[in-house]
Structure 1
Amino acid sequence: MRVIRQEEIYRGRVIAVRRDRIDLDGKERTWDVVAHPGAVVVLPVDGDDLLMVRQYRYAAGETLLELVAGGLEPGEDPAEAAQRELQEEAGFRAGRLIRLAEFYSAPGFCTEKLHLFAAEELTPSRLPMDEDEQIELVRLSLDEALRMALAGELRDAKTLAGVLLYARLRGR
């Protein structure tokens, strides 16, 4: 595979869209790509409870229960970004971060790589939230979150991955 040409079509606050022309086994193809700097996902664990955020997601058109998450700044270490997002959205800092996984959100068209962490040994520490965030912090037991995941009540992929991976880590 060889890239022949890349043309940026759109650049927004978070993403860029480009049209790539590639040579794939001697045949030219056009590929539309959403370029995203990547993000972190954090599953805060407070004693026996998990903390999640409930927020309206405009693109989905509904309110979702999700893990703490946010974009990476250019060159930012994912563990540092995880601490920042945890402070902004949940009001805690983690004494211990456990790297659960790295995965792509939609590799067929998007470059976004998600870095998933569990955050334990929480201590209160608040940073200001982004202006456009209106979130409610929700406390659930691991068993309740696992039940919701298996019943189809958690509809966000990164949240499903986080709950299922953490449950497996803890022998559930």
Structure 2
Amino acid sequence: MSRRLPIIHAITPQAEGQHRRVVEELDLEFSNGERRRFHRQRAEGPGAVVVVPMLDENTVLLVREYAAGMHRYELGLVKGRIDAGESADEAANRELKEEAGYGARRLDVLRSLTQAPLYMSHQSWLVVARDLYPERLPGDEPEELEVVPWKLDALDQLMLREDFSEGRSLAALFIAREWLRNPA
């Protein structure tokens, strides 16, 4: 069923945090006449990248880094913010050099991913990086990240690991694997 989007009668900023995320209150009217107030977090800036760096046709490079939210070391993909004036592929290549010590000659931006679209506007762009070469840039991590090669045909083992829990990384790997099998 296709529905008409609700009418936004007003958007009222509620708060702004240190990471430039604004909480907004939306005064909405739905197609059936019902009015409600919804809250959402609106991220400033162009978003982020999630990078799937392919060392070869079947080997992805993961990184292990400290995850403050879970207070443990977490295995995942290279990811980071898109800086002002950067494209998604430029940000992906920079983050790849900073976090994994590789650059990529071929970068394919596949799609955007959202984390909690019911209340957040943040988007992360999924980028597949291929034809890698060694190059390291200084990053903002407090320690060098461990780089862990992982075979795509062993995703069934990775997806059940307790230290691999970030949803964007999990989704990105399955999307990238299918895309690499049948590139458009």
Q: What TM-score bracket applies, with the shorter chain setting the length? A: 0.7 to 0.9
Q: Where does residue 29 of structure 1 map in the other structure?
A: 37
2:91 to 81, 86, 89: 81
RMSD of equivalent CA atoms: 2.2
Q: Where does residue 94 of structure 1 map in the other structure?
A: 104
Q: Where does residue 52 of structure 2 map in the other structure?
A: 43
Residue aligned with 2:69, SS = coil
Equivalent position amino acid for 1:79 in 2: D
Equivalent position amino acid for 1:94 in 2: A
Given that 2:27 and 2:36 are in contact with CA atoms closer than 8 Å, whether structure 1 keeps it comes out as: yes
How many angstroms does 1:166 deviate by?
2.2
Alignment of 1:63-74 (within 5 A): 63-74=73-84
Q: Where does residue 11 of structure 2 map in the other structure?
A: 5
Equivalent position amino acid for 2:52 in 1: L
How many angstroms does 1:45 deviate by?
0.8
Q: Deviations over 1:29-82 (max 9, x none)?
A: 141424253100101111242111111211133321110000112342111111
How many angstroms does 1:157 deviate by?
0.9
Separation of aligned partners in 2, 1:152 and 1:33: 30
Equivalent position amino acid for 1:44 in 2: P
Q: Where does residue 143 of structure 1 map in the other structure?
A: 153
2:114 to 104, 107, 115: 104
Given that 2:40 and 2:121 are in contact with CA atoms closer than 8 Å, whether structure 1 keeps it comes out as: no
Task: Number of aligned residue pairs: give it.
Answer: 170
Separation of aligned partners in 2, 1:86 and 1:80: 10
Q: Where does residue 161 of structure 1 map in the other structure?
A: 171
Residue aligned with 1:85, SS = helix
Alignment of 1:112-123 (within 5 A): 112-123=122-133
Higher Cα Rg: structure 1 or 2? 2
Q: Where does residue 52 of structure 1 map in the other structure?
A: 62
Separation of aligned partners in 2, 1:3 and 1:56: 43
Q: Deviations over 1:131-167 (max 9, x none)?
A: 4465211111222334312x35531111111211222
Gaps of 5+ in 1: none
| TM value normalised by structure 2 | 0.81
Return closer, same or farther for 1:3/1:41 CA change in 2, 3 Å cut-off.
farther
Percent pairwise identity: 31
**1:125 correspondence with 2:130:** no
How many angstroms does 1:20 deviate by?
1.6
